[in-house]
Amino acid sequence: MSNQLQLDAGRQQLQPGDWFVLSSDGLHDFVSEQQLLEQLLADSSAGQKVQALTELALTQGSDDNISIVLARVDALPAESIDDYNERLTRLPFPPVLATGMKVDGYRIERELYASERSHLYLVTDTDTAQSLILKCPSVNYSDDPNYIDRFIREEWIGSRIQSPYVVKVIRQSRPRSFLYYLMEYVQGISLEQWMQQHQPVKPGRAIKLVEQIAKGLQAFHDCEAIHQDLKPGNILVTADEQVKIVDFGSVFVAGVAEIFVPQEHEAALCVGSASYSDPLYLQGHNSGIQGDVYSLATISYELFTGQLPYGSKIEDCRTASDFDRLRYIPAREHNPRIPLWFDRALEKGVAFDLQQRYTTLQSLLRDLKQPNPDFLREEVKRNTRTSSLLFWQLLSGFWFVTLLLVIWLFLLQR
């Protein structure tokens, strides 16, 4: 059996009243599909349906373990990405906003960020006085349907992910006049700025930040989503050192994007992302959860050393041969206090080969928090091989010197 679990995802239209059935072969090998449908359509509770199906399987000769789970769709409150697109693509792009202007009951306080792709504003809800972040698309892309789809998808993805370690997308109760979305206002600085202010970072503080980032990423993975562009610039740290992951622009969602499109991801990458994003993305491969593992391990390395695991040259790499020339720089070279087992965990987390890299965030975090005996055994074997090699090198050197001495004495006697 494979030691990696690959999940398949599909899309199916649902209606209230639909049933999901999960059963073992002790049931579905002995109960026909018609009999199953008759029981599901019967006027009875879920518990009664399960009991009836179990008794039916036993009556019809089942001699295996019987397991059955029924789930009924009572309501469908959440919109799909298609619903979002249909409703929001009709909205016009907002104009460039200025302090004091109002949009749908939100007063613009100031601009926080502007680029050719989007604008962020600090706004106040005039009804509740709540401070929020309003994100607008750039008018430069008003005629680009792919850009509009990605922008709408950002809001849809963010609204599905609920975690104290991920910035919250606010569901709006008022009708929108323009295309934009709202997020919670987080007072803090980027992890990039935080590291510049706190180097060298104390180990206890660093590992707490890593744990929070991992929990935020896990919230993405629980929704079958991969962040793909995790970097210090996309992580906010508050005054009490609470972490918030931001930016949903490069998120890949299984079932929404049935086919991984590397060109789309590459276009969304910002300056500096290549240092933290899985190199396989740039080569057109989807490494799934292991891509986020790579990013987290890279950020962990930087938190503890102030450097990058492959140096700054990784920013210039584009092809597989470029990455093949890079070599992992042991973290202990930058910070001698880092234990050997911790360094080995970082090295495994940023391995280019997926067979060598951790497959889950939990396994990386576990080895960062406590010594992995396998790493210690490997070091003992390596030291043993080194000692053995040194012994034979010394012995060979001794016999070589002895040979030279014998030849010299022989020549003297002649």
pLDDT at 283 over 90: no
| Count of beta carbons in the 10 Å neighbourhood of residue 388 | 10
- 335 occurs within a structural domain: yes
- Mean local confidence (pLDDT), 223-228: 90
Model confidence pTM above 0.95: no
Structure tokens, 43: 């006027």
Q: Are residues 325 and 363 in the same domain?
A: yes
Q: Are residues 146 and 292 in the same domain?
A: no
pLDDT at 314 over 70: yes
Per residue in 354-383, pLDDT (tens digit) is 999 999 999 999 999 999 888 877 655 555
Counting the structural domains of the chain, the total is 4
pLDDT band at 172 (very low <50, low <70, confident <90, very high): confident
Q: How far apart are the first and last CA of the chain?
A: 73
Closest to 277 in 3D by CA, of 208, 207, 350: 350
Closest to 123 in 3D by CA, of 140, 96, 98: 98
Q: pLDDT averaged over the chain? A: 86
Q: Are residues 165 and 302 in the same domain?
A: no
| Count of beta carbons in the 10 Å neighbourhood of residue 23 | 19
- 3 occurs within a structural domain: no
Task: Give the DSSP H or E segment for 59.
Answer: helix 46-59
Q: Phi then psi for 251, rounded to 5 degrees? A: -65, 135
Q: Are residues 223 and 112 in the same domain?
A: no
- Mean local confidence (pLDDT), 95-119: 92
- Output the DSSP codes for 53-78: HHHHHHHTT--S---EEEEE-----S
In angstroms, the CA 254 to CA 289 distance is: 11
Q: The domain that contains 144 carries what CATH number?
A: 3.30.200.20
| Count of beta carbons in the 10 Å neighbourhood of residue 393 | 10
Q: The domain that contains 324 carries what CATH number?
A: 1.10.510.10
Q: Are 122 and 109 in contact (CB under 8 A)?
A: yes
Task: Give the DSSP H or E segment for 220.
Answer: helix 203-222
Q: Are residues 30 and 175 in the same domain?
A: no
- 9 occurs within a structural domain: no
Q: Are residues 362 and 213 in the same domain?
A: yes
pLDDT at 263 over 50: no
Q: Are residues 125 and 238 in the same domain?
A: no
Q: Are residues 112 and 137 in the same domain?
A: yes
Q: Are residues 196 and 276 in the same domain?
A: yes
Last residue of a domain, one of 167, 184, 201: 184
The pLDDT assigned to 145 comes to 86
Of residues 148 and 304, which shows the higher confidence score? 304
Last residue of a domain, one of 72, 102, 133: 72
Structure tokens, 68: 């059955």
Portion of the chain with pLDDT greater than 90, in percent = 53
In angstroms, the CA 252 to CA 265 distance is: 9
The pLDDT assigned to 104 comes to 94
In angstroms, the CA 252 to CA 271 distance is: 19
Structure tokens, 63: 């001699």
Structure tokens, 312: 């700054």
Its sign, for the CA torsion 389, 392, 394, 397, is negative
- 12 occurs within a structural domain: no
The pLDDT assigned to 170 comes to 93
Its sign, for the CA torsion 163, 4, 254, 11, is negative
Last residue of a domain, one of 38, 72, 106: 72
Q: Are residues 33 and 57 in the same domain?
A: yes
Q: Are residues 132 and 255 in the same domain?
A: no
In angstroms, the CA 176 to CA 168 distance is: 19
- 403 occurs within a structural domain: yes
Closest to 214 in 3D by CA, of 248, 166, 258, 149: 166
Q: Are 151 and 137 in contact (CB under 8 A)?
A: yes
How many CA atoms does the CB half-sphere of 99 hold within 13 Å?
4
Per residue in 48-84, pLDDT (tens digit) is 999 999 999 999 999 989 999 999 998 876 666 666 6
pLDDT at 225 over 60: yes
Q: Which residues contact residue 186 at a Cβ distance below 8 angstroms, ignoring those fewer than 6 apart?
A: 167, 236, 238, 244, 246
In angstroms, the CA 24 to CA 407 distance is: 82
Burial of 2 (0-12, 13-18, 19+ CB in 10 A): exposed
Task: Give the DSSP H or E segment for 238.
Answer: strand 235-238
Residue carrying structure tokens 């891509």: 291
Structure tokens, 264: 């789309």
- 2 occurs within a structural domain: no
The pLDDT assigned to 186 comes to 95
The pLDDT assigned to 85 comes to 66
Residue carrying structure tokens 């972040």: 133
- 255 occurs within a structural domain: yes
Of residues 129 and 375, which shows the higher confidence score? 129
Q: Are residues 243 and 354 in the same domain?
A: yes
Residue carrying structure tokens 């002790």: 26
Portion of the chain with pLDDT greater than 70, in percent = 87
Q: Which residues contact residue 324 at a Cβ distance below 8 angstroms, ignoring those fewer than 6 apart?
A: none
Angle between helices 361-369 and 289-305 (to 10 degrees): 30
52 lies in which domain range? 19-72
- Mean local confidence (pLDDT), 172-177: 87
- 129 occurs within a structural domain: yes
